[in-house]
Structure 1
Amino acid sequence: MTDRPGDHPTGAEQSSSPESPGSPYLPDELAEQDGVGVPDPFLRLWTPHRMAYIAGENKPTSTEAGSGCPFCRIPTLSDADGLITARADAAYAVLNLYPYNPGHLMVVPYRHVADYTELTPAEVGDVARLTQQAMEAVRIVSSAHGFNIGMNQGVIAGAGIAAHLHQHVVPRWGGDTNFMPVIGQTKVLPQLLSDTRALLAKSWPTD
């Protein structure tokens, strides 16, 4: 979302002290933190959860199947804990833990297989059907204008977890690539993943 005139408080609306709780300059938990420096008019987006992604904390160290592979482990969890939005016989749909956009889903076969050509006809069918359903659910929940759909095959092609195939379903809206990701390398996600999962699961179409 881009800023518009009037989006930020001015004049009397900014009468509270920058050092006081409720300051428009600092989050309450930082308002009285020692050493925060001189207050300024900039708002900060604190995203410490992304350090796990930056540091590669959740990236498997082995290419083998099992609990060390996130995509093998996720189906053993409850839907809510695993952020799963739907399950089919041979594949499942799950929210991306580090989404590009709100509602960024992945469709994953249960079987630990790396290459698309190794999927069985049943797996191909479930991956395709879940992809269609993901698009329908996201359109219902957030009126996506379009989608990027695809899979990165191999590390050289950009796959973060190359050993277990997964297809991305990324919703897109007009203007969603603004100055934040282009200049600041930051995506602004306005909704908790647990809330997104609940909305999509509720709106998921049935066969």
Structure 2
Amino acid sequence: MPLDTLIARIDALAGSSPRVIVGIAGSPGSGKTTLATALVEQLGERATHLPMDGFHLANRTLDRLGRRARKGAIDTFDGRGFVALLERVRRETGHTVYAPSFRREVDEPVAGEIAIEPAARIVIVEGNYLLAEQDPWIRVRDLLDEAWFCEAPADVRERRLVERHTLGGRSVEAATEFARTVDGANAELIERTAHRADLRVSGATWEARL
């Protein structure tokens, strides 16, 4: 099974720790959500998937700030709120910690939809900016037991993003433009953070390399 090596790595990290947090960073369309979902499915009830996307600022807030047109950029997230949640996930292992999710069908976060139960000894966190080096994001790395960078060729990422954006209601032309401009600009920042990862993982084959 392709995930065996990664599962074994997580199990080795877990040991006797009350909770282990593994972060999966990567550019839009790299496959990090698919990888995180597959890991949690294999790990079972002892693992929870925690996407960073729940910390998107609300569309109304983005409109007020004039940032709606580039939703997904690093300053369109509540970075401090995300860091605070990770601190809670790390520290509060004796009771349920609730986290927001993100619903693509409404293009908005949903408060308290993800429940991180005490039995969740492994938390798989994924998102674009886990390895970013500006404040407050630079604090994320120290809250992770290990960080992985999920990567895929630019043409693969663009194809996935165009499909995602058209499913969200954009025309093919508008989806392609967004993927190449907004997503493309974000990817340039994200790809520069890959050196901070412990492991690089293919978003297509899940082949891992140091």
For normalisation by structure 1, the TM-score amounts to: 0.21
Larger Rg over CA atoms? 1
Higher strand share: 2
| Higher normalized contact order (CA 8 Å, seq sep 6+, divided by chain length) | 2
Compute the TM-score of the two structures, normalised by the length of structure 2. Answer: 0.21
**Structure with higher helix content:** 2
